[in-house]
Structure 1
Amino acid sequence: MKEIISTDKAASAVGAYSQGTTNGDLLFTAGQIGLTPDGDLLGDEDIETQTTQALDNLTAIIEEAGGSLDDVLKTTVFLADIDDFDAMNEVYGSYFDDEPPARSAIQAGGLPANMDVEIEAVVSLE
């Protein structure tokens, strides 16, 4: 059975979607951007700041569901400009220890709110 995951420690959903959904075994997060829990858009900030906020949002959603970053199986990183990969990757790597999840990183046009990065995750809650 599907359960909705929601926390005020991450950016609120601003459309017809949930921060996360789970069936008890797997958690699927919505893509997270540089939007603070207080609703401040960080689109004018650098890629490192936006990546940090996106990952902080993901962490809060995952923890609300009872998991941790160690439980992340797969992430997808959407970049407005693939040339930002190295800077994003530097921040991203600081969130995952020796055994990072599988990851795809692609250049995608037109990210929400003209952000430079959006990150989503699939997490094991078993």
Structure 2
Amino acid sequence: MADTDPIETDGAPSNDNPYSQGVLAGDTCYVSGYGPVDPETGEPVEGDIQDQTDRVLENIAAVVDEAGGDGLEDVVKVTVYLTDLEDYERVNEAYGARVGDEPPARVCVEVSRLPDDVRVEMDATAYIG
């Protein structure tokens, strides 16, 4: 493998699956996909899709912080996975409130199912400069 460093933090969920929470490769942090899982309990959070979106973004920010970045401010690309595109506008509201005036590039796709039957998952790429 190239010169990379796995990122691990208690601020984001972890499990026994064979992947890192994030990987730092040079100045780029690749954050694994996160659903709305509370890192303390390991369970999906209660609440509506906006509450779940906030939790997903908190998980991503925690990994970026651990990599030496500045949370969501350093994120340059996000992929959003939704199990129902009817949630798109409400996810956008929560997402927009968190990413600021200069949002990262983004893709949003509808998928048939996500782990633990959550409704939203995101992965991200951040520039740690």
TM-score category of the 2 structures, normalised to the smaller one: over 0.9
Alignment TM-score, normalising by the size of structure 2: 0.92
- Specify which of 101, 105, 113 is matched with residue 102 of structure 1: 105
CA distance in 2, matches of 1:102, 1:41: 26
Deviation digits for residues 33-66 of structure 1, max 9, x if unmatched?
Answer: 1110111222x53211111110010010010001
Partners of 2:8 and 2:100 in 1: CA distance: 26
1:22-33 matched pairs, under 5 angstroms: 22-33=24-35
Please tell me the residue identity of whatever aligns with 1:50: Q
Whole-angstrom CA distance in 2 between matches of 1:14 and 1:58: 18
- Identify which range, 12-21 or 50-59, moves more after superposition: 12-21
- Taking only aligned residues, the RMSD between alpha carbons, in angstroms, comes to 1.1
The answer on whether the counterparts of 1:19 and 1:29 sit within 8 Å (CA) in structure 2 is yes
The 5 Å alignment of 1:46-85 reads 46-68=48-70, 69-85=72-88
Q: Alignment partner of 2:34: what SS? A: coil
- Pairing 1:88–2:91 present: yes
Task: Please give the alpha-carbon distance, in whole angstroms, between the structure 1 residues aligned to 2:60 and 2:85.
Answer: 21
Query: 1:56-106, CA deviations, whole angstroms, 9 ceiling, x for partnerless residues?
Result: 100100100011212111000000001100111111011111100000011
- Give the aligned length: 125
Q: Which residue of 1 aligns with 2:36?
A: 34
Aligned identity (percent) is 39
- Rounded Cα–Cα distance in structure 1 between residues aligned with 2:119 and 2:19: 21
CA distance in 2: counterparts of 1:92 and 1:115, whole angstroms: 17
Which consecutive residues of structure 2, in runs of 5 or more, have no partner in the other structure?
none
Structure 1 residue runs without a partner (length 5+)? none
Which residue number in structure 1 is paired with residue 119 of structure 2? 116
